[in-house]
Structure 1
């Protein structure tokens, strides 16, 4: 394993599979045709942005929602869904697509970053650095040490060494800083604009800067507890937080979304809608939903948390997150591994086959800002105001009417600001409600970091006394990069007792 504080960029293992298909949006290398090095960023960028997002919206979302008490399976189906997840049968094949897809499918971003083009592609390069850092943070958060210095060198380096997870985090923060500087300080008269090639921001570089600032805030908050016992890390944290005072973050209504032209066709729908909603041509036709689409529904814990049973506050977001199935008079939950039929995913999450995909929401940004101000890490802003703005943004995105919810929840411990003895608990619990369904993996990681929401039940069918803390390195690493991964000597127990560096609780 390497130690790196000044990292350069390169490749990783699964990149050997750089000839994957990606729904007409990823540039493939044809040994008989043009090589990717000769393609301009305008051709590479749409696929480079689109392909990793499909993993975020589907596999990572499903993984996170089943690892915390958000989603239950529909036990009325022929096959009991999520049996492996709820028994915590973690292995090297468990959600291995997260590693394989993120490692490989960020390779074209590195191609844009590293290639020396004759023209000024600073906007493309800066945006690619920010977007790549977004996914590599998740790789560290889920796996720990990862290859980073040696990533994406294709045939030049097939067996990348692993880098220390703390060092990768520091490098990602540096990448975001470099990206923002590159965007802000380039020669705008010669810089080639991204325009419609940018299927996320439409070429709006101010929004890329806000996204970068918000991502940097998330990176710093994630390591803030660990920094208290690491003087070098604390110094970096102090410097970087100082640089964030008075910058622009994603604000109300400024969701980071992606839409490369989703349509109501097989393999071209929004990945969330296609995975958890309806087959092509069947959108809204609940009678024809397939087993795959029907498998997810809310847990009893979540339903009772939102319908007022747990805390006497009825949360209108419940009716937007989920909807009754045929024969159900109200929204029903199921325990994880239980024998009931939970309600289905609702209209606030499933809107159309063409709906935008969410990368980072405005509400998440506002919750992050609220936490940073509350902890005294940011000096600008009002923690309670940001917290309530985040909840309002959550309601708005889901299409729920907020009514008197803020007033009713305000004095309730765990969900309201004034009534919560631990403000962090209120922030993370509200984030769990907000991102459940939209970004499940973020809720799992935040639970691991903070322990909130508290009192979440374990699945009925697990024999483990606690939730997993991480994923195991995948089979593809043991097959293609065995010398570098084998030194970690991981076993199944590693997923439950070997924490990521920021998990100090």
Structure 2
């Protein structure tokens, strides 16, 4: 019997690729019907692009964690909702079923570059599943003969993923590019650049090792794997090089998903919403007072790049539900707080700060700055910001050679560059100059200055928290949990919340509980506030 796979996303990417003249030839025969693809004829070059896009996807988790972690707060969210009171917030436990298909097809065809990338995708997707749920059905999920797969503990899964990444390095390094058909086109991240893939693998490895850094019993394992990275020899992605994908976003076909979901000035579509509450994803992508006030308190010049100034200026006499420090053109909401729009008429979208760069509604240019840089910007998987902070922590811990203070400053510079504070992405020294001027002015600020700060590790984590604002709340959540709930983000203001701490894991979906109840019951009673992910100390 033929097995048909869901190629809706492949078809969408195909349309995007074929709409650009540079990709009309060589990627896919325009007369080929993707709906007829079966396991007998599908090839790695068709499977890879949608999988890479899925690695950069923005599930509802992104919005949930952005609000839980103090970055965003929807002004109209209200109270007594699962998001605000922490009840039964769920996520899926299984990575895309296309992963083993890509692995098998690549192996069968002797296309080792594709096989190596497939293993990287496996590590990206499954590590995120573990980070959210800890117990996931890794070893049996893809076996069609097993209807009720068992749930594996996160630690052996992580160990296997690290092993898969080591194998991926060898496959990619030794691959004959000419045998990996259309790799420069279907690889929508690095276009068949071996060096960048090897550096990305090392960067991803470092992420997974950093996650478990606060487990003393993992020290010897980590040291051995750090040595593997050093011996591999490619290093990490250089400063300014992003682990990001772009199939060719264009307005006539599809805009960048982040732009579509979160730009408050987007008129091109792509947002999602709740049909019951009427709240949309752009509503959610507005400033939380906590994250906003951190930037205000340090006179941080990134404030106008992580957040946007308000569309309308609130009258000075307008009522406030809580104090809002200057400057008055940057205002936030309090997550979980319910208020009367009659009493507080200026606590709505046009009087609150949206995500940074929301006014960039055209294509990306060197002058584009902020988080949203345009409707065709890249979709990131691992940014240069996270990469730099991972290395800064590794240097601080003595895992990598280098000066810890310099690595710390380099990480913040990476944030300034990524947001393009200098106004010309082609000249990153302009952003460096903005950083240098600000850093020099903060000589007595223990939240910024290395010499002044009493706890260097917390300083790195504090600035990493700021650097990932609006970029990757899932990694921030991981840092928050592995570091004993640091920084101390406020809990939801919803009086119906069921706990006074932010959850440390998600719950399984009702569908998964229904279809795999026997195996889930074996895990015992699950508590979202006390059941740790394996890498938590």
- TM-score range for the pair, normalised by the shorter chain length: 0.7 to 0.9
- Which residue matches 2:28? none
- Which residue matches 2:456? 423
Report if aligned partners of 1:64, 1:439 keep a CA contact under 8 Å in 2. Answer: no
CA spacing shift, 1:412–1:122, aligned 2, 3 Å: same
- Which residue matches 1:236? 221
Report if aligned partners of 2:90, 2:507 keep a CA contact under 8 Å in 1. Answer: no
* Structural mapping, 1:74-223, within 5 Å: 74-75=75-76, 80=78, 83-89=81-87, 91=88, 94-96=89-91, 99=92, 103-104=94-95, 106-115=96-105, 117=107, 119-153=109-143, 155-187=144-176, 190-192=179-181, 194-223=183-212
For residue 286 of structure 2, give the secondary structure of its aligned residue in structure 1: strand
Once the two structures are TM-superposed, the CA of residue 31 in structure 1 deviates from its matched residue by: 13
- Which residue matches 2:418? 397
CA spacing shift, 1:429–1:476, aligned 2, 3 Å: same
Are 1:478 and 2:513 matched, yes or no? Answer: yes
Alignment coverage as a number of residue pairs: 456
For residue 380 of structure 2, give the secondary structure of its aligned residue in structure 1: strand
- Which residue matches 1:22? 9
Q: What do residues 154-186 of structure 1 show as CA deviations (whole Å, max 9, x unaligned)?
A: x33332221121100100110111100111123
- Which residue matches 1:467? 502
- Which residue matches 1:7? none
Once the two structures are TM-superposed, the CA of residue 279 in structure 1 deviates from its matched residue by: 4.6
Once the two structures are TM-superposed, the CA of residue 453 in structure 1 deviates from its matched residue by: 4.3
Once the two structures are TM-superposed, the CA of residue 391 in structure 1 deviates from its matched residue by: 0.9
Once the two structures are TM-superposed, the CA of residue 124 in structure 1 deviates from its matched residue by: 0.9
Query: For the aligned residues, what is the CA RMSD?
Result: 2.8
- Which residue matches 2:312? 326
- Which residue matches 2:42? 39
Report if aligned partners of 2:305, 2:419 keep a CA contact under 8 Å in 1. Answer: yes
Report if aligned partners of 1:220, 1:237 keep a CA contact under 8 Å in 2. Answer: yes
Once the two structures are TM-superposed, the CA of residue 85 in structure 1 deviates from its matched residue by: 1.8
For residue 358 of structure 1, give the secondary structure of its aligned residue in structure 2: strand
Counterpart pick for 1:270 among 237, 243, 256: 256
Give distance in 2, aligned partners of 1:125 and 1:322: 40
CA spacing shift, 1:409–1:121, aligned 2, 3 Å: farther
Once the two structures are TM-superposed, the CA of residue 351 in structure 1 deviates from its matched residue by: 2.5
For residue 244 of structure 2, give the secondary structure of its aligned residue in structure 1: strand
Once the two structures are TM-superposed, the CA of residue 140 in structure 1 deviates from its matched residue by: 0.7
Report if aligned partners of 1:120, 1:192 keep a CA contact under 8 Å in 2. Answer: no
For residue 115 of structure 1, give the secondary structure of its aligned residue in structure 2: helix
Larger Rg computed on CA atoms: 2
Report if aligned partners of 2:286, 2:354 keep a CA contact under 8 Å in 1. Answer: yes
Give distance in 1, aligned partners of 2:405 and 2:293: 25
Once the two structures are TM-superposed, the CA of residue 280 in structure 1 deviates from its matched residue by: 4.5
Report if aligned partners of 2:384, 2:414 keep a CA contact under 8 Å in 1. Answer: yes
CA spacing shift, 1:116–1:395, aligned 2, 3 Å: closer
* Structural mapping, 1:289-308, within 5 Å: 291-308=280-297
Give ranges in structure 2 of 5+ residues lacking alignment: 15-32, 271-277, 315-327, 340-346, 358-369, 423-433
